Structure 1
Amino acid sequence: MDYRSKCPSIHGFVSCCNGLQFIVCNPSTRQVITLPIKGPRASLGYDPVGEQFKVLNLVSSPDMYLGFLVHEVITLGGGGEESRNQVTTAPYYPVTKGLYINGSIYHGAWAPRLRMDPVIVCFDVRYESLSFIKAPRVVVVQERESILIDYKGKLASIAINPYAPFQIFDLWILEDVNKHDWSKQTFELPFSLVNMTSPGTNKAGEIIFAPKTLPPTVQPFFIFYYNVETKDIRRVCLHGIADDKEFWRRYGLRHNMCVSISPEHVESIASL
């Protein structure tokens, strides 16, 4: 797992892929469920109407250039039970991790083949259907380095120049899913950010910027919050993370460990 891996938090549960295993965990109850999957790309979603967690797993290899792609939808029930269903779509080439927002899972892709038309693939968790949303090329052109976030309940993208310091960025917001309508705003930070990305926003709508990896030596660990309305940025130190040797020894960590932050995580006593 590298820094591009994410552990999103959905209704108190976090998830991640580990090879052909998909792991769902409730940090509050410490319940862990490990699901076998048929492909290395999988994302957790939630149906708010049926109150069910579902995993979308891309089964087909996009490199085979078939006329279609097969997905497996795994529905999680009580007591660790599960059911599986297949969904077939037109071909596309996924390039980003999945992002869950309000009943849908989004990820950036090219359709139908690599570096052709930029799209956002949208999976409706309740109806188990996939659709394609036209996207500005800049939203997906950096592929695995592309930054998709939940911005005030809408899909958004932070686009930066990969050949320049991370100080100026464009915020693209998907304003209308049906009309494929995007808005764009440009912001300039008061200083450059090094080795950082954005896991999303907090409840106040501030954009979070956090390191991709732990610092190479024992030192304070900082994250930043940027207010797009006031253009103010604040720095917060997270004590007890990488700032003493005991932290590294306790968890048996090595240098260049990836960091995954789950914005707006809430504690839950629910179980699967």
Structure 2
Amino acid sequence: MRKRRKTVSEDRLTITQRNARPENERENSSPHIPVDQTIDICSRLQAKSVAACRCVSKLWASTLRLSHFNELFLTRSLARPQILFAYKKHGRFCFFSSPQPQNPDENSSPIVADYHMKLSFDGLFCEMSESVHGLVCLIYTKEIPRGRTETVRVICNPSTGQSLPLPKVTTKGTKVISYLGYDPVDKQLKVLSMTRRHEYTWACGGHQILTLGTRELSWRMIYCRIPHDLPRKSICINGVLYYPATNRSSGDSMIVCFDVRSESFKSIIVVEDVYRAARDGYLIDYNGKLGLFEWDFDFDGSLELLVLEDAEKPEWSKHTYVFPPNLWEDIVGNTEVHFVGVTRTNEFVFWIERMMPSCVVYCNIERKTIVRVGLYGLEAGKNRKVYTRLDHVENVNLELLL
């Protein structure tokens, strides 16, 4: 008896099984679409469509797991960055994403956030890292027996729906800070963890590193010759993790630079104004360089930015951008806004969550324009803290979190 024809259709790609031959015979026969062409076509799809294509046959499943396909997909995904959203609700951590508008103007259409995945969440407090090569690190505290608490670290890939709890950090310290970094040369994702020596000081007591995608995850101790306090923030730019800190021996204010590939540390001594901007402001990626940005809720129409031009000298440049008078007030009014980050096209992005629908505000420093773009799809997260991350890319490499 002939089976009914089965069709899978995603993003204008249709794969059809035209007969009911045995599975092993179909696998050994010549594919209807050449492998190279299959890889090229599927690399242009969205992650959800790739997941559907992997279910077509064993051949397609193995083809779409090849490292060549994963790299090609990621390269093309970098050209279509997204905004990643996440919030906690009813014991779940929910992830959404929407296309990231490129050079939006007053005629830009509203964007819609699509649901990705949800993760069981029983934590008391939570932090979410920046999106690094399509992955994020959730760090939260949960209660354990005898009135104690423990810190849990989970790596999530919203594109594939995977999550991976990391092994506990072996330490005698009272607090652990973890940051996600990417080495673009060896194409490796690593997690750097630092421990707080004891509860009466913020002195950093040890450094450990973990490499993702190695099957057997384990922390390795690494040496840092720079005694410094535990950082509160970091950013990864071109394979280097930057974070502000104070030298515990000399008292110097500095920016610590951790090279993800060599797993080595160095420091940049900075003056007080630069350190304050790093400590109290935001660390941003500005044209592939470290930028420091201080945001004042009483925005007066001008943005000031410090950029690390040369880490060896070191040399900083200061940029001031002045917008037309009253433009911010006309677009945003007195609504509370939150700074999100800077896009690859140097647009400063802010998030307005109290409006319905929610809004994303883009300040283009080159054109001196401010545009508000409506956002739909996050209505269920109303009155909740929404984590917003720019330049998120889809990463369909399933081997990273196995």
TM-score normalised by the chain length of structure 1: 0.80
Q: Deviations over 1:149-196 (max 9, x none)?
A: 11111110112457x446433111111111121111123443256543
Q: Is the deviation greater in 140-149 or in 12-21? A: 140-149
Residue matched to 2:363 = 226
Determine which of 111, 129, 145 is the counterpart of 1:7. 129
Residue 46 of structure 1, CA deviation = 1.3
Q: Would the alpha carbon gap of residues 119 and 139 (structure 1) be closer, same or farther in structure 2, given more than 3 Å must change?
A: same
Residue matched to 2:164 = 33
Q: Is the deviation greater in 38-47 or in 125-134? A: 38-47
Give me the whole-angstrom Cα distance separating, in 2, the residues matched to 1:93 and 1:6. Answer: 21
Matched, 1:107 2:248: no
Higher helix share: 2
- Contact 2:347 2:362 (C-alpha < 8 Å) held by counterparts: yes
Determine which of 311, 315, 321 is the counterpart of 1:177. 311
Give me the whole-angstrom Cα distance separating, in 1, the residues matched to 2:349 and 2:197. Answer: 33
Give me the whole-angstrom Cα distance separating, in 2, the residues matched to 1:34 and 1:123. Answer: 24
Give me the whole-angstrom Cα distance separating, in 1, the residues matched to 2:249 and 2:127. Answer: 23
Aligned residue pair count: 255
Give me the whole-angstrom Cα distance separating, in 2, the residues matched to 1:225 and 1:2. Answer: 33
Q: Deviations over 1:184-234 (max 9, x none)?
A: 1123443256543433222322122224xx42xx72211111121121121
Q: Deviations over 1:102-159 (max 9, x none)?
A: 1011112222379x53311111001111111133433442676421111111110112
Residue matched to 1:130 = 265
Give me the whole-angstrom Cα distance separating, in 1, the residues matched to 2:124 and 2:310. Answer: 33
Determine which of 337, 341, 347 is the counterpart of 1:206. 347
Determine which of 368, 375, 397 is the counterpart of 1:238. 375
Residue matched to 1:263 = 390
Amino acid at match of 1:22: R
Residue matched to 1:93 = 229
Q: Would the alpha carbon gap of residues 220 and 117 (structure 1) be closer, same or farther in structure 2, given more than 3 Å must change?
A: farther
- Contact 1:65 1:91 (C-alpha < 8 Å) held by counterparts: no
Higher strand share: 1
Give me the whole-angstrom Cα distance separating, in 2, the residues matched to 1:126 and 1:28. Answer: 25
Computed over aligned residues only, the root mean square deviation of the Cα atoms, in angstroms, reads 3.0
Q: State, as a whole percentage, how many aligned pairs show the same letter.
A: 31
Amino acid at match of 2:276: V
Determine which of 184, 208, 214 is the counterpart of 1:48. 184
Residue 58 of structure 1, CA deviation = 0.8
Give me the whole-angstrom Cα distance separating, in 1, the residues matched to 2:126 and 2:287. Answer: 23
TM-score normalised by the chain length of structure 2: 0.56
- Contact 2:188 2:211 (C-alpha < 8 Å) held by counterparts: yes
Residue matched to 1:186 = 320
Give me the whole-angstrom Cα distance separating, in 2, the residues matched to 1:25 and 1:157. Answer: 28
- Contact 1:54 1:125 (C-alpha < 8 Å) held by counterparts: yes
Residue 270 of structure 1, CA deviation = 0.9
Q: Would the alpha carbon gap of residues 65 and 202 (structure 1) be closer, same or farther in structure 2, given more than 3 Å must change?
A: closer
- Contact 1:17 1:40 (C-alpha < 8 Å) held by counterparts: no
